[in-house]
Amino acid sequence: MAYDTDNIFAKILRGEIPCDKIYEDDWVLAFNDIAPAAPVHVLVIPKGAYVSMDDFTATASDAEIVGFYKAVGKVARDLSLVEPGYRTLNNTGVHGGQEVPHFHVHIFGGKPLGPMLTRSSFR
């Protein structure tokens, strides 16, 4: 699947539409999800143009992959999620339920999340 430069996260990266930014470095942008499924729901996206987890892990450089995952851990740490605990999630492709075709990892936290997570669990 070719990368769609008009996807919503590409527009956020280019500053064409706003986001509620949590963190940014050379490798990633992290921002609050527009429709949170938990009290803390942050999306971490690489600055590079990767469609999915598959694309990212197959074609990104080692530096990008390390930079990305170190940033995911840092964001969770900076949000004080480590001690109470948190969940990371990636959706890939149709069966994975991926909506936005720019690779991203969700960070969920702020309450006990249970064995699974749905939108209705945000209460």
Residues making contact with ligand 5GP (CB under 6 A): 8, 19, 31-35, 43, 91, 97-100
Pick the closest to residue 105 from 67, 122, 2 (CA basis). Answer: 67
Name the residues annotated as catalytic.
104
Whose Cβ is closer to ligand 5GP: residue 42's or residue 63's?
42
Q: What is the CA radius of gyration of the chain?
A: 14
C-alpha–C-alpha distance, residues 47 and 61, integer Å: 12
Whose Cβ is closer to ligand 5GP: residue 100's or residue 117's?
100
Minimal distance in Å, beta carbon 69 to ligand 5GP? 17
Max alpha carbon distance in the chain (Å)? Answer: 40
User: Please, is 99 exposed, middle or buried when counting C-beta atoms within 10 Å of its C-beta (0-12, 13-18, 19+)?
Assistant: exposed
Minimal distance in Å, beta carbon 92 to ligand 5GP? 8
Minimal distance in Å, beta carbon 107 to ligand 5GP? 11
Whose Cβ is closer to ligand 5GP: residue 43's or residue 107's?
43
